[in-house]
Amino acid sequence: MQYAVIFDRIFRFSITGSRVRNYDGLGGQLLFAWMHQHRVLHWTDTTLTIDWDEAAGVVVALGEEIEQLYWRSIDRPKIAHWLAAYELVSSTVTPHPASVWAKGPDALALTGPARGLTDAVLDDEFPLSMFFEALERKMKPVIESTAGITGAAG
């Protein structure tokens, strides 16, 4: 089950669908980067390896970070919570170089309506890393070839 969940999260949403505010894809990128930065996922010479004995602990640690973020949300104003969430993600996944959010609170209009803050999020706030760009080039024809295939008996 561990293999299925990790591979599904890392690969499926990151390279399928639109890049416009693709938060499922961002979750996959976050998991991949977290595992890589904690040295349980390795991409060397076009070979992906995972230290499965260590993977569960690293994934649980990311879950604890996210749980702590949401647990603290009750004590924060909404905008402060959004900034904390952005800090968690951007500390692991590199934001777009043109991102206003990445410049921090001083660059954001924090006194206006919350809509202004959400409008400042780029459609692809966290672009694909080089790993995902290479994977997408390889997988795109395969993914496109499966269009219309269903599990329905025909």
Give pTM, 2 decimals: 0.85
Task: List pLDDT tens digits, range 25-58.
Answer: 889 999 999 999 999 999 888 889 999 999 999 9
Between CA 25 and CA 27 the distance in angstroms is: 5
pLDDT of residue 154: 58
Between CA 108 and CA 110 the distance in angstroms is: 6
Identify the CA nearest to 23 among candidates 31, 12, 13: 13
Inter-CA distances, 21 with 74, 88, 123, 144, 153, Å? 25, 17, 5, 21, 34
Between CA 59 and CA 118 the distance in angstroms is: 28
- In three-state secondary structure terms, 96 is coil
Q: Which residues of the chain have pLDDT under 50?
A: none
Residue 49 host element (H or E): strand 47-50
